[in-house]
Amino acid sequence: MKRYLLPIAALLLAIAACQRDHITVYDADNYVHFARRFVDSSSFSFVSYPTDNEYNYPVVVSLIGKAANRDRAYNVDVIDNYTTAPAANYALPATFAIKANAVADTFYVKLVKTPDLQSGSIRLALRVSGSDELLVGETERTVFVLWYTDRITRPSWWDSTMESAFLGRYSDSKYRLFIQVTGVGDMTGMEYYDKRYYTLIFKNWLREQAAAGHTVYEDDNFTVMSVALIGG
């Protein structure tokens, strides 16, 4: 997603200029910022959840300082000038707080699927700000950017290991069929045996289709769709 960051670079520089003098040490005050750095913008696709029209996307905010025995509010705002997502495609919580005795908070952005998401990605840019009790933390963690779509795209979990040991070479057609056959669109963080289990389901389905005279091909209509997993 780093190729999408240039339109927001000026924003980050402006924030840095405003906050540089306020972030010298963290031992005297308490600060909040997003757990993810600005350059590690996030992405989401409804393709992984084909039966869902809404999705609650988790966003983590971290505390630098000490936990307290009470809730402490902070604020999150939409950066309108850098957000391309229409208001109909998202909703934020009404309030935000680091809970009592906690050093982090997770709030959820409700993403709403609409037909236009099938034509491309839209961007939601958020900015965290402090309160009377919490100051703003590191500049590079002040902004959170989320790109989301309903268009088929290669997921980050389909990495070189997934390609060489499980599902084989990625294609949009294979990914879409894998979701339809297994009901699973996201294998992030799965253990080896879970990955093997779902890959076997898909492998056996491809085998059954071929046996029934309905061999499944890749988009070139020549290459037989297959997986890399051996055995089963």
Q: Quick check: 128 and 92 in contact, CB under 8 A?
A: no
Residue 83: band (very low, low, confident or very high) from pLDDT cuts 50, 70, 90: very high
Asked if pLDDT for residue 215 goes beyond 60, the answer is: yes
Q: In what order do the strands lie in the sheet with 104-112?
A: 90-91, 104-112, 54-64, 31-34, 135-136
Predicted confidence (pLDDT) at residue 23 exceeds the cutoff of 70: no
Report the pLDDT value the prediction gives residue 9, as an integer from 0 to 100.
55
**Which whole number is the average pLDDT over 179-198?**
93
Q: Does pLDDT of 232 surpass 80?
A: no
pLDDT at 12: 55
Q: Which of 27-41, 160-174, 178-192 has the lowest mean pLDDT?
A: 27-41
**For residue 3, is pLDDT > 50?**
no
Q: Whole-number mean pLDDT of the chain?
A: 88
Residue-wise over 41-64: b if at least 16 C-beta within 10 A, else e?
A: bbbbbbbbbeeeeebeeebebbbb
Domains (ranges, CATH) in the chain? 2-149 (2.60.40.1740), 154-232 (no CATH)
**In the block, residue with structure tokens 């229409």:** 86
More confident residue, 201 or 185: 201
- pLDDT at 16 (0 to 100): 47
* CA distance readout (Å), 56 to 108, 121, 163, 167, 171: 5, 17, 29, 28, 27
The residue written with tokens 């590191």 in the block is 138
Q: Output the six-digit token pair for 96.
A: 């935000």
Q: For residues 21 and 102, what is the distance between their CA atoms, to the nearest angstrom?
A: 27
* Per-residue pLDDT reduced to its tens digit, 86-121: 999 999 999 999 999 999 999 999 999 999 999 899
Determine the average pLDDT of the residues in 184-207: 95
* Each residue's pLDDT tens digit, 10-19: 555 555 444 4
pLDDT of residue 13: 52
Radius of gyration of the chain (CA): 22
Distances (CA, A) of 105 to 24, 74, 84, 110, 113: 23, 10, 26, 16, 25
Per-residue pLDDT at 37: 85
CA 120 – CA 149 distance, rounded (Å): 6
Evaluate if residue 216 carries a pLDDT over 60: yes
Instruction: Give me the pLDDT at residue 200, please.
Output: 97
The β-bridge partners of 122 are 148
Is residue 225's pLDDT more than 50?
yes
pLDDT for the residue 32: 95
| Residue 221 pLDDT exceeds 60 | yes
Q: How far is CA 20 from CA 14, 62, 137, 192, in A?
A: 10, 19, 10, 45
Tens of pLDDT, residue by residue over 36-69, are 888 777 888 898 888 899 999 999 999 999 999 9
Per-residue pLDDT of 130-151, as tens digits, reads 888 899 999 899 999 999 999 8
